[in-house]
Amino acid sequence: MPILIKGGHVIDPGRFVGIADVLIEKGKIAAVGPNLSSPVDARTIRANGKLVMPGLVDLHVHFREPGFEYKETIQSGSAAAVAGGFTTVCCMPNTNPVNDNQAVTEFILERARLAGLANVLPIGAITKGSEGKELAEIGDLRRSGCVAISDDGKPVMNSLVMRRAMEYALAFDLTVVDHCEDLHLAECGCMNEGLVSTELGLPGIPAAAEDVMVARNLSLSELTGARLHLAHISTAGSVRMVREAKGRGIHVTAEACPHHFLLTEELVRGYNTHAKMNPPLRTWTDVQAIKEGLRDGTIDVIATDHAPHATQEKQQDFTEAPFGIVGLETALPLTLGLVEEGILSLEQAVQKLTSAPAAAFGLKKGTLAVGADADVVIVDQQEQWEVDPSKFRSKSRNTPFAGWKVKGRMNTTIVDGRVVFETGPVER
């Protein structure tokens, strides 16, 4: 059935901003413009006063299937994604087995197809088993549907292996994504190294553990010419180096997560395990640098690093609990908070969640161009709501944002021209 979205505030980053109608036919964007006439059999959705934008694209999620289905499945993760406005998500390979081969990639794509909600695009491993030793069959991964390669969570320590990975990635037109962390420097740290870690008696991860790997990866990208995407950067040093590298024309993009532009290490006081993530929450100075990086375009992308864990896992001692928080159902309002704060324009905020991530991986997503896949979201920018983890579609509840009052409510999520999520009040 065709869908006509009437009278919304359309934001198609870099292409069009203004009041317009959006017509969807046969799963594609058929027209964007004023006063479009409705095909006879179309469903009309009135969007007056609402934002209408491309479906959000998340370059960094962990859907835990195969292997850890008690934390999240591709079905539950996809439901969380569309509830949060994400129509395309790229899932990291640290499942069990690791997504380092065609069979796992095909399994993920099949599960995503059965779920029938979001576009779930697998990221293949860089090395076999993400063990950092032998390269995975990168060409096979590409052919079977992987959209990038990464050993997220178990970063490649050997710089020669990383160089070879970048050379292959370039040959296969894939982006290399790195979680920048020198595991030797990070040692057994569980929070940012500094005054707070000393006061709490917890082992720290210095900012330098991230910075040295950002520096290495930028050098290797310069050497090989490969497209490099830096996952979840968290330090002032990373922002500074990426800014400098972009100035010299290195093919790098960078992402930041909402928790790294909103929270500091202070949240760890009280040994709150929902403040335990990797990279860890840093200092106020780092948060300011991340915001400035987002503002000036050094940081292209906002991603969630959606990392579900079961309640009993997060209820362990701070040193024992796993790293990570869920993010898909809170990222949009938290990002819109940067608009309220005056850090980003509305168009910039939308761009960092749509066209910019799509461009970083070369995906034909994140646009309302005529002929593009009809992945569209309608958002009530003014509606306030309180984050209640018990209402999450995700199987997991591990968020530091419980109880936060946020602004910006998802109304409708459309994937390939089908309404896959809807919440009231929606006028018809």
Which residues are near Zn ion by CB under 5 A?
Answer: 152, 179
Distances (CA, A) of 96 to 65, 81, 150: 8, 22, 15
CA distance 99 to 94: 7
Q: Cβ of residue 18: shortest distance to Zn ion, in angstroms?
A: 38
Write the single-letter amino acid at 194: G
Asked if 384 contacts 351 with a C-beta cutoff of 8 angstroms, the reply is no
Catalytic option among 151, 211, 305, 380: 305
Peptide bond into 308 cis (omega under 30): no
Peptide bond into 279 cis (omega under 30): yes
Q: Cβ of residue 232: shortest distance to Zn ion, in angstroms?
A: 6
Q: Cβ of residue 184: shortest distance to Zn ion, in angstroms?
A: 17
Residue located via tokens 């090395």: 127
Please list, residue by residue across 5-21, b when 16 or more beta carbons sit within 10 angstroms of its beta carbon and e when fewer do.
bbbbbbbbbeeebeebb
H or E stretch covering 258: helix 258-262
Rounded to 5°, the CA angle 44-50-56 comes to 95
Q: State which residue, 153 or 417, has the beta carbon closest to Zn ion.
A: 153
| Burial group, residue 329, by CB count within 10 angstroms (0-12, 13-18, 19+) | buried
Q: State which residue, 213 or 226, has the beta carbon closest to Zn ion.
A: 213
Pairing status of strand 418-422 against strand 175-178? unpaired
CA distance 74 to 152: 18
Q: State which residue, 12 or 152, has the beta carbon closest to Zn ion.
A: 152
Give the residue closest to Zn ion by C-beta.
Answer: 179
Q: State which residue, 93 or 337, has the beta carbon closest to Zn ion.
A: 93
182 catalytic? Reply is no
Q: State which residue, 313 or 340, has the beta carbon closest to Zn ion.
A: 313
Q: Cβ of residue 152: shortest distance to Zn ion, in angstroms?
A: 4
- Estimate the crossing angle of helix 236-247 against helix 207-224, to 10 degrees: 20
Q: State which residue, 50 or 154, has the beta carbon closest to Zn ion.
A: 154
Write the single-letter amino acid at 265: E
Rounded to 5°, the CA angle 378-379-383 comes to 150
CA distance 218 to 87: 30
Q: Cβ of residue 115: shortest distance to Zn ion, in angstroms?
A: 24
Q: State which residue, 65 or 152, has the beta carbon closest to Zn ion.
A: 152
Q: Cβ of residue 269: shortest distance to Zn ion, in angstroms?
A: 24
Q: Cβ of residue 181: shortest distance to Zn ion, in angstroms?
A: 8
Residues assigned a catalytic role: 305
